[in-house]
């Protein structure tokens, strides 16, 4: 799973830090989850390959599928303990247009509500599966 985030949004970086505290250690590997700022070289390459021209906060690429908006956030439950899968399943009962409308509303206001925070400021276990500061990333050679 590759998670593209807005690398200078405090809410997005906070989400990654929150995940880092909850993902079981055996799943917290670069093979299971990679966090990539959308503004980085590798992030831009992934977004272009996925034909995403209007990147806004979180995109998940998993098994060749590109997930956006609420589906992207709910897909993150795949690397979390079982209780989060149950919560995500319950959230999927809400019609997607409603979930996406809420997602877009929060995304539109996230900087004014939460401010900015650099991706490179991560200080959690998730930092081991991220690739450095925003804007300075290139696709790791071992990723292909």
Q: Write out pLDDT tens, residues 47-93.
A: 999 998 888 778 999 888 999 999 999 999 888 888 898 989 999 99
Of 96 and 19, more confident: 96
Please give the pLDDT value at position 57: 79
Average pLDDT of the segment spanning 94-109:
92
pLDDT of residue 138: 39
Look at residue 15 in the predicted model and tell me its pLDDT: 83
pLDDT, residue 91, reads 92
d(CA 75, CA 61): 9
More confident: 2 or 138: 2
Query: In the chain, how many H helices and how many E strands?
Result: 5, 4
Averaged pLDDT of the chain:
79
pLDDT digit string, tens, across residues 123-141: 545 555 555 444 333 344 4
17 and 120 Cβ atoms separated by less than 8 Å = no
Structure-model confidence comparison of residues 136 and 118, the more confident one: 118
3-class DSSP assignment, residue 115: coil
Note the pLDDT of residue 37.
81
According to the model, what pLDDT value does residue 132 have?
44
């Amino acid at each position: 799973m590759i998670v593209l985030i807005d690398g200078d949004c405090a809410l997005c970086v906070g989400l990654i830090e929150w995940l880092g505290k909850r993902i079981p250690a055996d799943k917290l590997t670069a093979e299971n989850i990679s966090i990539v700022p959308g503004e980085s070289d590798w992030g831009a390459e992934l977004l272009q390959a996925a034909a995403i021209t209007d990147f806004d906060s979180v995109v998940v690429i998993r098994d060749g599928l590109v997930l956006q908006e609420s589906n992207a956030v709910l897909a993150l439950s795949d690397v979390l303990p079982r209780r989060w899968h149950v919560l995500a399943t319950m959230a999927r009962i809400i019609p997607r247009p409603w979930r996406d409308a809420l997602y877009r509303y929060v995304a539109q206001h996230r900087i004014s509500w939460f401010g900015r925070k650099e991706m490179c400021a991560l200080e959690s276990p998730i930092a081991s599966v991220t690739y450095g500061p925003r804007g300075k990333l290139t696709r790791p050679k071992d990723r292909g």
